[in-house]
Structure formats: C-alpha cells, structure tokens
Structure 1
Amino acid sequence: MDHGIVTDIATCIIAAWVVGVVCRVVRQPLLIAYLVAGFAIGPNGLRFITDPESIRTMSEIGLALLLFMIGLEMDLKKMLGSGRAITVTALVQIIGGVALGWLLFGWLGPAATKLEALYLAVAAAMSSTVIIVKLLHDKRELETLAGRITIGILVLQDVFVILFLAVQPSLKDPALAPLALAFGKVLLLVGVAYTVSRFVLPPVFKLVARQPELVLVGALAWCFALAGFASYLHLSREMGALLAGVLLSTFPYTLDVVAKVTSIRDFFVTLFFVSLGMIIPLPTWDYLLWMLVFSAVLVATRLLSVTPVLLKLGLGHRMSLLPAINLSQLSELSLVLLAIGKASGDVSDRTISITAFAFAFLAVGSTYGILRNDGIVRTVSPWLTKFGMPDLPEGSGETGHDTQAGTIFVLGFSWTASSMVEEIERERPTLLPRLKVIDFNPETVAKLRARGVSVVYGDVSQRDVLEHAGIAEAEVIVCSLSDSVLRGASNLRMLRQVRALSERAEIIVHAERLDDAAGLYAAGASYVVTPRLLEARELLEVLDAVDNHLIAEKTCEQLARLENRSEVIP
C-alpha cells in the first residue's frame, strides 16, 4: 500500500513537471499544466493512476497549508476596514446567486427536480478558494482592496456552505435546529481558537523562540490542530487552517514560518491540482452543452450579484469588476456537496458529471481571466457606462486644472509614492499643495484627500484620464511604479505617452533593470530612478557600520526614522 502511494505521488510530480515545462515554453499558466497532467495520468486519461483517492488525501495537506499561509499574510485590520463592502456584497452574491441559479437551473436544466436545482444553485454560488488564492498570491494582489474583498467573500461562502450542509439531511423536511447547531459550532471554533491564541500560544512560543525549528513545528501543529478541531465539529478543515493563520499573523515569528513553509506548501498544492485534474470526465456533446449552460449561469450570477453592489458602494468600475472576475469559477466544496446530495438520492450521476466538467472548464477559464483581469476591466468599463452604471468621476472633488495644485503629477500610488508623500510632509511641506496624484484605488484616494493631497481617480495607463487631469500643465511627472506593478503597461510605454502629452515637463520614471535606463533616457526621461542602486548604497553603509562596530547606532538611527511614520500605505 505504501509503495503504491509513493509510486502515485512520483507519477503525479513527474507529470506535473513535464507538462509544466511545456506550458512554460508556450507561456501558459502553471495551474493549467497541473490540471492537464492530472487528466492525462488519471482514470479518464492514460490510467497511470486509477484511484485518485490515494493522492487526494495527501493533496488536502497542501490546501490546509495554503490557507494557513494566507491567514498568516492577511492583514486583519485591513479586512475589517473593508467589512461593509465584504459583508453586503457576500450576502447579495450568495443569496442572489442561489435564487437566480435555482430559477434558471430548474427552468433550463439540467436539474430534473426543484431539489436538485437547489443543490446546483448552491454549488454554483461557491467559488474555488484554492484557485483564487494561488493566482492572487502569484500576482501579488491579495493585499489590494479587490483582493481583500474577494477573500472576505470566500470566507463567508465557506460559512454559508457549512450551514447548508448542516441542514442538508433535513431538506425534504426542513428544521431550524440543525442550522442553529451549525452556527453554534462556528462560534465555538472561533471562540476556542481566539482563547488559545490569546492566552496559551504567546508564552509557549516565547519559550521556544531561540529554536526556530520548534517555532516552525509549533506553528504547523497549531494549523493542523485547529483544522482537526474544525473537522471534529463537522466544519470545514480549510476554515480551521485559515483561522489558525489569521490568529497567528500578529506574532513576531510569522515571516520566518512563511518562508520555511512555502516550499512544503508548493509540493502539496501541486498534488492538489493534479488530483483535481483526475476527476475531469471525458467530454461528450451532452456534457459540453450543459457545461456551457452551467458556466454561463455561474458567470452571469457573479456579474449580476457582485458588480452592481460594489458600484453602489462607490468603489468604481475597477474595484467592482475585479472581485466578480476573481470569483468566476466553481468551488471544490461544490463537488463534495453534490456527492453528498447523490448519496441522499437528491442528485443524479449525470448532473455530477456535468458539474465536474464545468469545474475543469471554469478553472481553466477563470485562470486566464484573473491573470488578464486588467484588460477585461478596460474592455467592459465603457459598456457599464453605456448601460447607466458610470465609473467614479475622474477628478471628482477637483475643480479645473490649477497649475499650483497640479505642478507635480504622481502617476499611480504604491509603496514608494507613499513614502515620498510622508517625506514631503516631514521635510518639504510646501511641496504638498503642488502634488496631484492619479490612482484608481478608492481607499488610497480617500486617504490622500484626507491629508489634503489633490487626487484624480483614474487609470494612469489611459490617455483620456491623463488629458482630463490636465497633465499638459505639469511641471514634474513622477512614475514610481515598477513594470511588474503596471498592469498592461510599462514605464517605457507610459513615458512615451506622457511625453507626447507634456513636452516641457520633467519626467521621472522607474527602472528595475539597469540596461533599461538607456532606453528610457532615449525616450525622453529626465531622470531614471534605480532602487537597486539606492539599496546597494544603504547596504554598503550598513557593512561599514558593522566593520566599525557601529551597527547598534545604525539600527537606532533607522528606528528613529521609522518611529511615528504614518504613511498612506504602511
């Protein structure tokens, strides 16, 4: 038995690596490679592995570790700050999605009964936590406003499906008691976890802090203990792992744990996606037709239940569309839910096969959608305006193109720009009224306006936005965003566009690679900022301080600089 599991794992990893290399060559997402590899070696492909359960148990470890690490990296304060948007949107998405799905699946099919249509509607209302989290993590978008809203909705979706599973046995004869019991279990899980993390874990971790390996083992023990306790309460293990990470995220050992767990997590997560690929059925015309119907209903319900709510909350086209795009796939828990429905005699084998194929189709489609969501937003945004859903007004709150207020334009607002504004407030406050920032993050816009900084809401890569903001009047234009942050654009492209709009302005741009600087200067840059050289100079100063036995003074100097800083983006 052990030999079989080891062989199956080896087969999965080799297949994932081979297909992954091919996908890398043809520039396709690795997630697609893992699903294709799983299908190829699974029971519906070449049949190297005929029992996916031998891998699925191992792969669930990766899912728990992935959600644990997401919890570790989650900023709970920011999540709570977006609480209203998350709660309202999640409630509308779940309730609206289930209602619309129930009506459409009962009317169009493939459900044969109203009860089966309800199962399908609940399944379609759930999104894949593991797919979304991995893609947003890879894109470094988990800590964006859209990312926080997406993750918050996913958490509430998990709570809903747990409550639904609690009442599932009595769906033919509904009762209030199972629902109250399930809700009580969720409260018990959160209460016990908070109590232990507040009063037990801090002294224990402090005791073993000088032995990093014990800190790592302790963190993993906490993750799986809470996941196990959630399972004991008949709740989601994944919810327990996520909660464990969130409650541990305030501890000073978080970064060390994340760094050491990453490689372990990647191994098990690879197995998870390969195992998902194994459940993809062979396509038939019947499957293809109903898969398209199911997928169309799911995507439509996401757009209809998420985007209008966020627009109503004043988040603009971008922040309203991104969560809807991110959530446009089917959850793994949906397949579990339908399997439970089948065991109860409420769901047919045909419906489960159609849903499994739709899961694979949407997993692939949503992967491309999330990776290219910026282009989708730019395409859809004008249509929303035409249908009576206008974007946040560009430059709302601004009057005219006052030269004094708009002398220094800052295109896009991220970490470097945040630190620059803080330095201006401390060292050159007279420059503050001359700043005009262009950015499309509503939270950033609100915080900057609270500080008295002139802000234009808009996408810096759009020529119309720049013209409307009055960039032709600019004296200095600063783009501190790296090419990896500029979605669908680059510093060179931005520079050429801005230079065409403002011939006399001094333009400062960012270069990650040293050999990019020459091309930027040739395109009209006044100055090219190279952060790696600034970091290298600071590192040399630190090395000199070490040699001169002045590292303590250097550290105190840095702490003094960091003290009491209150940046827009901490």
Structure 2
Amino acid sequence: MESIFYDIGLIMITATVIAFLAKLIKQPIIPAYVITGILLGPVFKVITNQDVIQTLSEIGIAFLLFVVGIEIEFKRLKEVGLAATLGGLVEVLVMFIVGYFAGAAVGMTPIQSVYIGLLVAFSSTMVVVKILSDIRELDTLHGRIVLGILLVQDVLAVFAMSTLVTLASFSSFVLFLALLKGILLVLIVLAASHYIFPFVFKVAAKSSELLFLTSITACFLFALLFSVLDFSIAIGAFAAGIAIANLPYSFEIVGKVKSIRDFFATLFFVALGMQLTPTAIKETLPALFLIGLLVVVVKPVLIMVLTSLTGYKKRVAFATGMALAQTSEFALILIAIGMSIGHVGDKVFAITVITTITTISITSYLFKYSHKLYNILEKPLSLLDRISKTGEDLEYIPKRKLDVLLIGLDRTGYSIFRKLQTMQKEFIIVDYNPNIIRHLINERVPCIYGDISNPEIMSQIDLKNLKLIISTVPDEDVSEYIIKHARRANKDVIIFVTAYQVDDALLLYEKGADYVILPHFLGGEHVSLLLEDITKDINSLIKTKLNHIRELHNRHLLGHEHPAHRDHSKKNSV
C-alpha cells in the first residue's frame, strides 16, 4: 500500500513540476504528462511496477468518457447533422480501408491489418473534448461539427469492440448474441435516462454529497454492467454520462466530478509515457512513420474535404480536420482486446501505444498553432471553398448604400441584429454558417456566406462608405485582419470587435479597435442598467421580462442555446 502511495505521489509531484515548466514556456500540458511517464518509466526506471498505475489510468479513461457523455448536447448537434454523419461514417470507412492496406504494406497479417485500420480510423473523444473545452472552442461551429463526428465514431467504436470479441469464436449465434446484448444495453440506457434517473437524482439532489455519490455510483454501475456483458468499462461509463446528460442536475454533477476526472486523466497520460521504450520505437520505425502520416496528414485532409462537401467554408473545414488528427483512446482498449484473444502481439501493441502518444502530443501543438498553420496554408486551402459550393447562391446583396457590417449572427450577433432592425439601419451580415445564411435569405436580410478573413468576401463589401463594423467573432487574428483592412479603406469607420480574454482586448485596442466586446462582462453591465430602470419604475421589469421571453422564443426557433455553465472556461459561439 505504501508503495502505491509512493508511486502516485511521485507521479503527481513530477507531473506538476514538468507541467509548470511547460506553462512557463507556453507549451501544451498533455505532452508534459507523457514526458513525466517517459522519465519515471523507461528513462530512470523509478517506477517499475506499472500494473497499478495502468489500472488507475483505465479508471481515468472511464471518468473522462463519463464526463464527455454528460456534456454531449444532442440538440446542439442537429444543425451539423449532415457534416457529422458524413464525416463520421465516410471517414471511418475510408481510413479503415487505407489503414488496412498500410498494415499489409508493412508485412502484417490480415487480422493485424484490421487492427491498424481501426487504429487510424478513430479519433480521441477524450483528448479533443478536453482541449476544445480548455481553449473555449467546444461550442463554436467547428467544435459542434467535431463533437458530432466523434459521437458517430464512438458508436462505431462500440460496434467494432463487440465485433472483435465475436471474431475469436466466430459463429452466427455469437454474432447474434453480441447484437442482442448491444440492443439490451441501449434499451437500459434509454430506460434509465427517461424513467429511473429523473426520480433517483431528484431525491439525491436534495443533498450535495448524495448527488455526487449517486452520480459516481451510476458511472460504476454502468461500467460494471457493460463489463459483465463483454463490453468495455469505458463504454459503460460513457453510456452512464449520456443517460445523465438530459437531467437538470448534469451541470452540477460535472462540476463535482471534474476534479476526479483530471486526477485520473493525468495518470492516464503518464501511463502512456511509461509504455514508450527506445527499443519499441526502433523496431517499428517504418510502420510508425507510415501510420503516423495517415493519422496526422491524410485523415485531417479527408475530413476537411468531407466537411467542405456539406457546404462549410475552408476555415471551418480546416479547424474540423486539424482537431481530429490523432488516434483514439479506444485504440488502446481495442488492442488490449486483440492481445487477450490472440489476434495481435507485442509489435502491433507497440505501434498502437507509440502512435497514440505521438499523435495526441502533436494534436496539442496543432491546436496551439492552428491560426499560424491556417495562415500558411490559406492559399492551398482555397480549393476547399470550390468544393463547398453547393450550387446555391448563398448571398443576398441589395443595390443600396449600407451603413453597418455585422460579422457573426449567432448569440451576441443576434441581439445586435435585432437592434439594427429596430433602428432601421441599412446593414449586411457575414457569417460562415450556411444554415444561418439560408434563413436570412428567406427573410430578405442582406447577407453573405463566407469567412470575413477571405479577401474575396471582403472585396464584396463597400468598406469606403461604411460607418460601423461590428464583429462578434472572438478570434484575435480575424479581428486584427478586420481592423487592418477596414482602416486601410476607411480611416473614419467605427470598429467593434470581440475577445474573451482581457489581454486580447487590450491588444486589440492597441491595434486600433474603437471598442472591444467582452461577452462574459456584458451580462453584469446589462443587469446593472436593469437595476437602474427598476429603481425608477418597477413596472419596467414586467415589460423587460415579456420582451426577454419573446426574444428567447425567437432564439429557440433559430437553434440558439446559451452555453452550458458547467465549465466557465468554455468558449461561447458568437
């Protein structure tokens, strides 16, 4: 027992020190955890008994996927349903086939090649959701598309796991039994979500401690149930999260479970590092290079093309593809199943572990430098805009003088849009969500579909005669681009831009912005003004309430949702 405490303590201390160093030099945290594992394991051999750490890391995967399941908002995925379905199904099919032949090309058997195909086909729900949440992009347009694709992949991963188990003793009866078990589990999840959990959690919510214990119990109960029926405990935890997601207490549950999740997640990434050895790298180098190329280059490009085919422009397609340039934690579970039933040996295991470590680490850097990468690749990426043309004329530009340019309509932009209508201003809207643009065209509202940082889009707008530009896009590079090009064409135009960080806002003021919108601060300012009105006339509250209810109904029709307050670091969509 003392040895376990010593090992965990050493891991946490070392991980904290290296994570601190990573933050000081502005590097991502996940590679710091992997480096911790490499140092404590294969380099200095401080921790030799990895079995306990490995077990705890598996619990980490379960908790991470439990929280991911709770945070999935199916209603938010409706508007990106086509992109998510096409991206998920076609990408998995194509990458599985490509991965299979890549495995065969480096001398693997057909069954080993199947595992390589599965390795390159799936992306990491756990890692991507964590990073998107950390950088506040979980609720952006590309964030919702990524989440939808990952949801489709997760369903296919569950099917793959059950199929692989049946391959060990394949028969029509075993396959039928696996299918029957899967249907039974889906029915149990639905029953728990709609009939059992609402009552149980309503009682548990009366006590903060009982709510926490009940949620943890639900996680372990589903994990145990799935394990008994020959499915992964991680999938069981994920299913428990989905069953809890629609409850009104889900936000509070996530807040309570997050600390446990982060602790076990650290152990998971450290355990990955411990499994990396120089010998394994040397022996599998040719295969690693080929498979790594498929995951980091071919898969993102395929997803970009598929996203463009559903009508989204290059910026959204690029962000979606880059987010999925890694292998999945499910790959580790799949390879464990493969080893237990004798499908694969140490070589494929080493390839899976090393590819997972390296691609997850690379993903952290792809997110960190995504804007710079986009700027470098912007010209070649223009090919995606040609693909995204659906034959529709996604713009409505009336031949009259325009006073205001509004960039981004979702949420913050919608309130500004309504105010501009009330003021009877002549304005035009630019947005890269095709669904929003179609709605505006139907309403005969002047609009253009596209990315404002695209010179072709900017050239369609008469900047010289504009009096006001308002951008609700919280992207520093985009804001700087708007300020630079607008000032060049019209030095007198008033420019509003948006930021989420105080440092970013101050920088944008230095660049020439007239006002920087900070959405998280606007709520407090609005309430303070409301308090002044109530003090003068209490009846004004009734009028404000009725107007607010009317606006909420309109937003509901447009598919707007307020970002979940379960994580105050999340990025709101504009």
Pairs aligned (count): 554
Alignment match, 2:496: 508
Alignment match, 2:40: 41
Whether the 8 Å contact between 2:69 and 2:242 is mirrored in structure 1 is yes
Whether the 8 Å contact between 2:37 and 2:274 is mirrored in structure 1 is yes
Give the letter aligned to residue 132 of structure 1: V
2:61 to 56, 60, 63: 63
Alignment match, 2:564: none
SS of equivalent residue, structure 1 residue 82: helix
How much does 1:21 deviate? 0.9
Map 1:208-357; keep pairs closer than 5 Å: 208-282=204-278, 284-303=281-300, 305-357=302-354
Are positions 1:461 and 2:450 aligned together? no
Alignment match, 2:364: 367
Alignment match, 1:185: 181
Are positions 1:383 and 2:383 aligned together? no
How much does 1:37 deviate? 0.8
How much does 1:206 deviate? 2.7
Gapped regions of structure 1 (runs ≥ 5): none
Whether the 8 Å contact between 2:304 and 2:384 is mirrored in structure 1 is no
Distance 1:176 1:240, change over 3 A: same
SS of equivalent residue, structure 1 residue 478: strand
State, as a whole percentage, how many aligned pairs show the same letter.
Answer: 28
Q: In 2, Cα distance between the equivalents of 1:246 and 1:469? A: 45
Whether the 8 Å contact between 1:100 and 1:301 is mirrored in structure 2 is no
Give the letter aligned to residue 234 of structure 1: D
Alignment match, 1:488: 477
Q: Which moved more, 1:32-41 or 1:412-421?
A: 412-421
TM-score (norm 2): 0.85
Give the letter aligned to residue 229 of structure 2: L
Distance 1:237 1:84, change over 3 A: farther
TM-superposition CA deviations, 1:416-469 (whole Å, max 9, x none): 2122224455x44x34xx231222233433344444432222323344432233
Alignment match, 2:24: 25
How much does 1:76 deviate? 1.1
Whether the 8 Å contact between 1:475 and 1:504 is mirrored in structure 2 is yes
TM-superposition CA deviations, 1:364-383 (whole Å, max 9, x none): 11221233334434444532
SS of equivalent residue, structure 1 residue 438: strand
Alignment match, 1:479: 471
Whether the 8 Å contact between 1:545 and 1:554 is mirrored in structure 2 is yes
Q: In 2, Cα distance between the equivalents of 1:233 and 1:541? A: 58
More contact order relative to length (CA 8 Å, sep ≥ 6): 2
Whether the 8 Å contact between 1:101 and 1:121 is mirrored in structure 2 is yes
Whether the 8 Å contact between 1:467 and 1:501 is mirrored in structure 2 is no
Q: In 2, Cα distance between the equivalents of 1:437 and 1:261? A: 41
Q: In 2, Cα distance between the equivalents of 1:151 and 1:159? A: 13
How much does 1:302 deviate? 1.4
Give the letter aligned to residue 220 of structure 1: I
Give the letter aligned to residue 483 of structure 2: L
TM-score (norm 1): 0.86
How much does 1:543 deviate? 7.7
Please report the RMSD computed on the Cα atoms of aligned residues, expressed in angstroms: 3.4
SS of equivalent residue, structure 2 residue 59: helix
2:431 to 439, 455, 466: 439
Q: In 1, Cα distance between the equivalents of 2:151 and 2:288? A: 26
Whether the 8 Å contact between 2:314 and 2:382 is mirrored in structure 1 is no
Map 1:146-165; keep pairs closer than 5 Å: 146-165=142-161
Q: In 1, Cα distance between the equivalents of 2:501 and 2:135? A: 20
SS of equivalent residue, structure 2 residue 477: coil
How much does 1:270 deviate? 1.5
How much does 1:313 deviate? 2.0
Q: Which moved more, 1:209-218 or 1:188-197?
A: 209-218
Whether the 8 Å contact between 1:281 and 1:356 is mirrored in structure 2 is no
SS of equivalent residue, structure 1 residue 508: strand
TM-superposition CA deviations, 1:231-267 (whole Å, max 9, x none): 2222233333333333323322222222222223222
Alignment match, 2:414: 418
Whether the 8 Å contact between 2:299 and 2:321 is mirrored in structure 1 is yes
